[in-house]
């Protein structure tokens, strides 16, 4: 297993992982699979300010994780939104934990202090959305911080959105500036 920084040329492999989530699940609220060019642009833009990691095993990319802007105001500089996707046939092998651990380590190194995960949720699991993501985040030390009811509609059904948070470090009155790249 090897974790490294993503590159724009990884876009096709990462899109192969992401596309089934768009097409068959409510995990992402995107309706259309982005183009390879758009996905490469997303990688490039993210890497300007935040870590974007891929996990390779057996010479194949099995998953990816990245951080992004939580809110665009200066007081939020120490907070990020985190995301992780694992190839659907590769769950249960520790890839998500390895990616999130590496992502959190890099965020700490860059002086980020809060990580937030925005997760689609429904009280009742269905064929498009299970409780796997909230349970994974709880296992990784995240706690529930908020719920938005019926805020996203996909596949003709309304889904909630929960926010989970994790503090990555202490919160001094004069925090170190974040290192974007």
Domain containing residue 53: CATH number: 3.40.630.30
- 42 within domain boundaries: yes
pLDDT in tens, 84-93: 999 999 999 9
- Is the predicted pLDDT of residue 65 greater than 90, yes or no? yes
Domain, as residue range, for 35: 2-167
- 44 within domain boundaries: yes
How many other CB atoms sit within 10 Å of the CB of residue 178?
16
Q: Domain count of the chain?
A: 1
CA distance 156 to 152: 10
Mean pLDDT of 12-32: 98
- 160 within domain boundaries: yes
- 35 within domain boundaries: yes
pLDDT in tens, 129-168: 999 999 999 999 999 999 999 999 999 999 999 999 999 9
CA distance 4 to 11: 14
- The single residue listed with the structure tokens 């994780």 is 65
- The single residue listed with the structure tokens 């926010």 is 163
């Amino acid at each position: 297993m090897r974790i490294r920084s993503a590159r724009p040329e990884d876009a096709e492999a990462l899109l192969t992982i992401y596309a089934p989530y768009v097409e068959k699940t409510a995990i992402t609220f995107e309706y259309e699979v982005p183009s390879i060019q758009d996905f490469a642009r997303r990688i490039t833009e993210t890497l300007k300010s935040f870590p974007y990691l891929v996990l390779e095993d057996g010479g194949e990319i099995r998953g990816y994780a990245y951080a992004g802007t939580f809110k665009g105001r200066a007081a939020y500089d120490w907070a990020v939104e985190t995301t992780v996707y694992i190839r659907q046939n590769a769950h249960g092998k520790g890839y998500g934990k390895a990616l999130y651990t590496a992502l959190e380590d890099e965020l700490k190194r860059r002086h980020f202090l809060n990580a937030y995960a925005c997760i689609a949720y429904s009280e009742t699991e269905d064929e498009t959305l299970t409780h796997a993501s909230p349970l994974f985040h709880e296992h990784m030390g995240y706690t529930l911080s908020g719920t938005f009811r019926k805020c996203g509609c996909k596949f003709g059904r309304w889904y909630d959105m929960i926010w989970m948070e994790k503090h990555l470090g202490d919160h001094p009155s004069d925090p170190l500036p974040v290192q974007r790249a």
